Amino acid sequence: MAIRTTPAAADQNMLPADPIVVAADVRKRFGSNEVLKGIDLRVPKGEVLCIIGPSGSGKSTFLRCINQLERIDGGAIWVAGELVGYRREGNFLYELTDAEIARQRRRIGMVFQRFNLFPHLTALENIIEGPVQVLGEKPAEARERAEALLARVGLADKRDAYPAHLSGGQQQRVAIARALAMRPELLLFDEPTSALDPELVGEVLGVMRDLAGTGMTMIVVTHELGFAREVSNRVAFMDQGQLVEIGDARQVLSDPQQARTRAFISAVHK
């Protein structure tokens, strides 16, 4: 399949010096519903970007496009300087094979709303699975790293526990450790606390806060405006498939320039 793109939308010379993610005129539709309407975004290395906005605004779809869980219908996305999902020939983009997409996806870790742990594997085994099966790590090395990651997220004593015996917050912390085990250059979080009971939200945000302090590049779709204010470098507000406003986190959350952003933040704070 080929999609037509403008020269600027697929021109690598347009990239800034140190981007991890570049999106240029990204479009996505499901049937007649256009859910992404020309997203332009640049995320430099080491940035924490929080994306906020109402349900149905395209936030999660955009993350899924970055990680190639959804194919874009127009524009282009790069991760770490590499055009993802497609190869360019002239002004057309041609889809990569599944194997080529799997190779590209290794650079990206993604944490979902619903954890997506393998129920028949222990916490430790969930973390080891990817490095051994995908990256070809030796089991002993993968196990040692997995144990270190469990300790990092505060779950060293849960290494042999199955997901059914873990709380939602613990399962999400295992999911974060599993993503880190793949040594990603970029971490995507799709509303990682939305499925949690309120008292469990803090333990997951604490792990994410620590990750942000290490310089990990993170894009976080979230409704946790306090977390966005405290941890992110920038906040982007999306509505109806468009990037309405983006800027310094404190500025956007305290003094947004767009009326639609102000209305959303005011409604969330009620």
Q: What is the pLDDT of residues 9-27, one digit of tens each?
A: 445 444 445 789 999 999 9
Q: What is the pLDDT of residues 84-98, one digit of tens each?
A: 988 888 777 788 888
Mean pLDDT of 89-118: 87
Mean pLDDT of 228-247: 95
Q: Report the distance separating Cα 203 and Cα 209, nearest Å.
A: 10
**pLDDT for residue 270:** 60
What residue spans define the domains of the chain?
2-107+184-269
Domain 2-107+184-269, second-level architecture: 3-Layer(aba) Sandwich (3.40)
Q: Model's pTM, two decimal places? A: 0.90
Mean pLDDT of 150-165: 96
Mean pLDDT of 167-171: 94
Q: Report the distance separating Cα 127 and Cα 14, nearest Å.
A: 37
Mean pLDDT of 63-84: 92
186-190/92-95 β-pairing: unpaired
Residues in the chain: 270
Other beta carbons within 10 angstroms of residue 87's beta carbon come to 12
**pLDDT for residue 16:** 44
